[in-house]
């Protein structure tokens, strides 16, 4: 029996409701003149509201994210002028949780029946989070490429100060760039969930090796952190943080001068790990007026992925960055 047959059991109301519920589709209707909304049980659960016989658009508006509220109201009002189907994506607040909702229906008089417009709500939080993740990854990759180019340029300048011939410079520069490549290899997640990726001190030392001059200023970087393993997930985050701090130092701080010194020390307890990044002997660095992408990325990495905090002291002697991280997240 084909599905187009109106007598097919697929079109029986109970079966249709079960199918919609299984697909996570919530039904709604909106009385345009009275502003009254009607939803099924799934819709009330989606919005975090107790089931009731009457709910107004304003009741729902109180749950819409403030940044989206006016846009959603205007969009719903404008649906009567839309010919064909429409789709509106927006955020709602359920306590401290943010969820993404997609409202879909038919616009113009095609979607109006007895003064009511009807449509569906879908929870599209997973898709939106994936899209945001892709956007962040694209921005991060673009930022990393720019920083790598800046590092290569700065390393060329550093190498030119400590070599006398083109051949010597080429050899030293190749060695430093190769060390940078080894640093990225060292923090690559291990295949097959083999546990911890490396020791915290080893990763920091390898990442900073390309910046430590082999000339008269050799040994100007000191690393003294707790001996502890870090997980394969947090290894990449730690690498990103150290990479950003070293890049900034190479551009503006202690590593940009021959006399600059860098000290990385740390302490740990059962619940947290504290790393202190101290620069001395570099040029005077003033706090930026605006937070750049690198700073936002640092804060997001430390607070979001490592469950910690980042504090920056813009002292005249040199910048001091204190990273406090959750010990359990660091070992995950």
Residue 185 CB neighbour total at 10 angstroms? 9
Residue 112 sits in the same domain as residue 71:
yes
Rounded to the nearest angstrom, the gap between the alpha carbon of residue 177 and the centroid of all alpha carbons in its chain is 28
Rounded Cα distance between 302 and 90, Å, is 28
Question: CATH number of the domain that 99 lies in?
Answer: 3.30.450.20
Is residue 4 situated within a structural domain?
no
Residue 43 sits in the same domain as residue 172:
no
The residue count for the chain:
332
Model confidence band, residue 36 (pLDDT cutoffs 50, 70, 90): confident
User: DSSP letter string over 164-179?
Assistant: SSHHHHHHHHHHHHHH
Rounded Cα distance between 235 and 237, Å, is 5
Is residue 23 situated within a structural domain?
yes
Residue 170 sits in the same domain as residue 317:
yes
Is residue 83 situated within a structural domain?
yes
Token pair of 132 as six digits: 């945001």
Greater confidence (167 vs 78) lies with 167
Model confidence band, residue 279 (pLDDT cutoffs 50, 70, 90): very high
What domain count does the chain have? Answer: 2
What's the pTM value of the predicted model, to 2 decimals? 0.48
Residue 294 sits in the same domain as residue 231:
yes
Single out the residue in 123, 154, 176 at which a domain terminates: 123
Nearest Cα residue to 200 out of 247, 250, 237 = 237
Model confidence band, residue 195 (pLDDT cutoffs 50, 70, 90): very low
Residue 112: which domain range? Answer: 9-123
Nearest Cα residue to 225 out of 254, 202, 249 = 202
240 close to 302: Cβ distance less than 8 angstroms: no
Single out the residue in 90, 123, 156 at which a domain terminates: 123
Q: Write down the pLDDT at residue 273.
A: 93
Residue 18 sits in the same domain as residue 166:
no
Q: Write down the pLDDT at residue 156.
A: 77
Q: Can you state the angle between helices 125-162 and 232-252, rounded to 10 degrees?
A: 50
Which tens digits make up the pLDDT trace of 106-128? 766 555 566 677 788 888 888 88
Which tens digits make up the pLDDT trace of 296-314? 767 877 888 788 999 999 8
DSSP assignment, residue 195?
S
The residue-averaged pLDDT of 77-102 equals: 79
Which tens digits make up the pLDDT trace of 8-19? 444 455 666 677
Model confidence band, residue 278 (pLDDT cutoffs 50, 70, 90): very high
Alpha-carbon torsion (280, 283, 286, 292), positive or negative: negative
Residue 147 sits in the same domain as residue 282:
yes
Residue 66 sits in the same domain as residue 165:
no
Residue 251 sits in the same domain as residue 205:
yes
């Amino acid at each position: 029996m084909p599905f187009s047959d109106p007598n097919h059991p697929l079109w029986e109301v109970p079966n249709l409701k079960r199918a919609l519920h299984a697909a996570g589709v919530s039904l709604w209707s909106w009385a345009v003149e009275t502003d009254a909304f009607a939803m099924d049980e799934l819709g009330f659960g989606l919005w975090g509201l107790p089931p009731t016989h009457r709910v107004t658009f304003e009741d729902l508006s109180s749950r819409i994210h403030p940044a989206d509220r006016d846009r959603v109201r205007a969009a719903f009002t404008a649906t009567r002028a839309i010919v064909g189907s429409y789709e509106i994506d927006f955020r709602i607040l359920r306590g401290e949780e943010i969820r993404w909702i997609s409202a879909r229906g038919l616009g113009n008089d095609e979607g109006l029946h007895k003064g009511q417009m009807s449509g569906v709500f879908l929870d599209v939080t997973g898709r939106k989070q994936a899209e945001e993740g892709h956007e962040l990854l694209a921005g991060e990759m673009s930022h990393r490429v720019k920083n790598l180019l800046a590092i290569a340029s700065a390393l060329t300048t550093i190498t030119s100060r400590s070599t006398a011939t083109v051949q010597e410079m080429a050899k030293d520069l190749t060695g430093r760039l190769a060390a940078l490549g080894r640093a990225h290899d060292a923090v690559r997640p291990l295949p097959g969930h083999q546990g911890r990726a490396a020791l915290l001190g080893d990763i920091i030392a390898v990442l900073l090796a390309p910046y430590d001059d082999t000339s008269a200023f050799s040994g100007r970087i000191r690393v003294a952190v707790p001996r502890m393993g870090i997980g394969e997930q947090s290894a990449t985050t730690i690498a990103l943080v150290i990479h950003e701090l070293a890049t900034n130092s190479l551009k503006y701080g202690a590593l940009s001068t021959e006399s600059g010194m860098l000290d990385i020390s740390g302490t740990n307890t059962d619940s947290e790990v504290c790393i202190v990044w101290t620069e001395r002997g570099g040029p005077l660095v003033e706090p930026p007026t605006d937070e750049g992408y690198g700073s936002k990325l640092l804060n997001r990495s430390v607070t979001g992925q490592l469950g910690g905090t980042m504090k920056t002291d813009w002292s005249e002697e040199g910048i001091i960055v204190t990273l406090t991280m959750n010990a359990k997240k660091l070992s995950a």
